[in-house]
Structure 1
């Protein structure tokens, strides 16, 4: 699972703009943003670079910390 859609909204960047900067179609970026398809790791790194965030900000943790 990823947080691409939330980070795009927070940064004020549209899915269309991200698609153009990635060299992907809008449909593919929409699939990423709606968690229907997970981007390959190299694409996830490129998305993080474009959005100027740490790649971990795009991911939902798979385990919660136990206190």
Structure 2
């Protein structure tokens, strides 16, 4: 099963379009599209700006990591 990209999921949840994120960060819509489709990843500063704009915790832009117990 393929998971939807977390950024895409967050944008859908907050009813935000790539165009608005592109304007906010002064990047092209195609750049945001590459982030949403896992072709490229935004740097931490851009992720912070996205979280700030959406008024969410930056950690909400990521899927939680689950590590197997290493006993």
State the TM-score, normalized to the length of structure 1. Answer: 0.83
User: Any stretches of 5+ residues in structure 1 without a counterpart?
Assistant: none
Q: Which has the higher contact order (CA 8 A, sep 6+)?
A: 1
Q: CA RMSD in A?
A: 1.7
Q: Which has the larger radius of gyration?
A: 2
Q: Give me the whole-angstrom Cα distance separating, in 1, the residues matched to 2:28 and 2:68.
A: 37
Aligned partner (choices 41, 46, 64) of residue 44 of structure 2: 41
Q: Give me the whole-angstrom Cα distance separating, in 1, the residues matched to 2:68 and 2:57.
A: 20
4+ runs deviating over 6 angstroms: none
What count of residue pairs does the alignment treat as equivalent?
Answer: 65
Distance 1:65 1:37, change over 3 A: same
Counterparts of residues 8-23 of structure 1 (less than 5 Å): 8-23=11-26
What's the offset of the Cα at 1:36? Answer: 1.3
What's the offset of the Cα at 1:61? Answer: 2.3
State the TM-score, normalized to the length of structure 2. Answer: 0.79
